[in-house]
Structure 1
């Protein structure tokens, strides 16, 4: 086979093996072979395909899972990679299923250009791993807390009355340090032993979540300081938006495409004399949830947003309509932060300037009518509010 012959390849990927196949530009089968899912195996697979001809493109199943390693190796070899969806069940029933058949099916799908997708970008793989681990820790922490509270509902009176009035944080701390053996009743002992272990699990998961949060915050701040500095954007929401953008780079071609990706593009819901739009139920729901949380924070703390909400309520708009508009506006802002470099004002000069004037944190907080914690967090860069920081800086300079 001449090296100048154009071919299209396909890959059926698994945990331990990858099966590749090649077809001509007319769909004729050229050959297939199986390789291990190792760097050496990927190199051998690409060498085998290039020996059959010039590879126009490779259709890979699961570029974000089992096919991630092979996709990276193919891209590094300057070969176009496209993600192909699995064959529909009706076609599999007619033609059967095997690794060679699936590989040829992927190749012919890539050749036809039908049901193709852009491969996932792996630039955010590390951030995604940390984010998943933290969400898992938070989820299991909540489950453990709920289990403790459920146990106390049916616990003996001596146990239930002792802990029923405590808040969640004090409850976990108290049960984690309790002494079940001090109870004479075997039933009370058993309940406290189980609750004690769950409380210790909660504390362990909290420690893990905090450690993961610190790493996530450092990564997102380094990757996109402008996004992290936006009002209401915490480390978790910034991480989710970066992950969504990294996994769908082709959806950042326009601000409208990004809004559709996040499920905040307005959907017409008009009928008769009613002319309105509703919230979209499509798109990446995790990114939609991130925008939703940003909107809630701004509705409760951001003065311009609070004034906007009041104006919208005066016009007769419902809370859901206001949220839809806010999420759409926030998506527009986030798109700009994701696609261009934004300079982030420094706050490091605020604390030295205050200390040079011998002004206490409490005095500054009283002047602006905020809690001292707000001043402290802004000075340390833990809370972003550029408008307030500018006002605070001007006040310090004039003091």
Structure 2
């Protein structure tokens, strides 16, 4: 089977066909990143009926091409940029770099090094990732508007407004206010505009959460059975994790989300420090679940936290240990859900479609 490596860019893609048996460059083509260019690429690749595609950074610049090839029934692999960099470094010419070499490096890694992984068609996890990103943007916009409203109310009212300000509370504060000047009238008008914007964002956030819950029901996950995980947190965990089986172990997933502590490089091997690596959004979601469970006296997480405290750990260290424990638990649930969906799809092929 021939491996076709792809080095993607914003406006163009370079493809190089490599024979994995001899590591021979069989040819290369450069196309525009357009539908016409994609069709040209497929026509060129028909010279090798048995083929698979190795796309460098298939989750980034190569995402659109990778998904387009999957729809055509092609086998597509994702090759990390760090892996192709190693191949270039070890190849003849030292630090040579061009698009054709990058494409060949992607093919070599896919064929020989084992660093490539299959690309999956987009599904519910991608929908949840989009909804989570949309919710983050809506929340940031709402926070900015509330801060502006706070500033105006502080200029209008003695003592300003309470910290946990809502649209209804701000409306009630303005209802008893008497305008004494044109400047105050302008401030009140701006406050009313901001309140209307906040109400609109609150409605959009509610609709966003409802759509998350519906997608989770279709996805079929048991994450919401865990204390402290609702629709919003479950959507973030699944959306940012993707396919749980791409992590070979729970430790690999913990390293990915940054909950695995880093051992201090010294003679004292029992000491660890907080990891600053990994997906910080995933880490934040696990932290939220840990804090919620600690506040629930009857939860399993609180029992685990108390156990660590009894062992002599400080509260912060015990909380980090609980976060690491939750990472393992969440990964096992998502992995079990994925295996169950695969069994259902195998039993009923029309369900997958």
The alpha-carbon deviation at position 337 of structure 1 amounts to 0.9
- Partner residue of 1:350? none
The alpha-carbon deviation at position 77 of structure 1 amounts to 3.1
CA contact (8 A) 1:49 1:55 kept: no
The alpha-carbon deviation at position 192 of structure 1 amounts to 2.0
> Distance between the aligned counterparts of 1:120 and 1:160, measured in 2?
57
Q: Which has the higher contact order (CA 8 A, sep 6+)?
A: 2
- Partner residue of 1:259? 254
> Distance between the aligned counterparts of 1:43 and 1:72, measured in 2?
14
> Distance between the aligned counterparts of 1:275 and 1:219, measured in 2?
43
Cα gap change, 1:274 to 1:125, in 2 (>3 Å)? closer
5+ residue gaps, structure 2, are 90-94, 339-353
CA contact (8 A) 2:244 2:334 kept: no
Cα gap change, 1:260 to 1:286, in 2 (>3 Å)? same
The alpha-carbon deviation at position 71 of structure 1 amounts to 0.6
- Partner residue of 2:58? 63
The alpha-carbon deviation at position 65 of structure 1 amounts to 4.0
5+ residue gaps, structure 1, are 343-399
- Partner residue of 1:337? 333
> Distance between the aligned counterparts of 1:271 and 1:166, measured in 2?
46
**Structural mapping, 1:265-304, within 5 Å:** 265-269=260-264, 271-272=266-267, 275-303=270-298, 304=300
SS across alignment from 1:59: strand
Structure (1 or 2) with the larger CA radius of gyration: 1
**Structural mapping, 1:77-226, within 5 Å:** 77-85=73-81, 101-102=98-99, 104-113=100-109, 117-118=116-117, 121=120, 122-123=122-123, 124-153=125-154, 155=155, 159-161=156-158, 164=161, 168-169=165-166, 170-174=168-172, 183-226=179-222
TM-score relative to the length of structure 1: 0.69
**Over aligned residues, Cα RMSD in angstroms?**
3.4
The alpha-carbon deviation at position 270 of structure 1 amounts to 7.0
> Distance between the aligned counterparts of 1:85 and 1:296, measured in 2?
36
- Partner residue of 1:372? none
Cα gap change, 1:291 to 1:312, in 2 (>3 Å)? same
**Structural mapping, 1:304-383, within 5 Å:** 304-341=300-337
CA contact (8 A) 2:228 2:292 kept: yes
Cα gap change, 1:77 to 1:316, in 2 (>3 Å)? same
> Distance between the aligned counterparts of 2:279 and 2:163, measured in 1?
39
Cα gap change, 1:213 to 1:248, in 2 (>3 Å)? same
> Distance between the aligned counterparts of 2:16 and 2:307, measured in 1?
62
- Partner residue of 1:21? 15
Q: 1:230-280 deviations in whole A, cap 9, x for unaligned?
A: 2111111111111233166421x2222222222222322375567233332
TM-score relative to the length of structure 2: 0.77
CA contact (8 A) 2:58 2:66 kept: yes
CA contact (8 A) 2:237 2:285 kept: yes
SS across alignment from 2:278: coil
CA contact (8 A) 1:9 1:55 kept: no
The alpha-carbon deviation at position 62 of structure 1 amounts to 4.1
- Partner residue of 2:223? 227
CA contact (8 A) 2:15 2:29 kept: yes
Work out the number of aligned pairs and report it: 319
SS across alignment from 1:21: strand
- Partner residue of 2:346? none
CA contact (8 A) 2:296 2:302 kept: yes
**Structural mapping, 1:17-56, within 5 Å:** 17-25=11-19, 26=23, 28=25, 30-38=27-35, 41-51=37-47, 53-54=48-49, 56=51
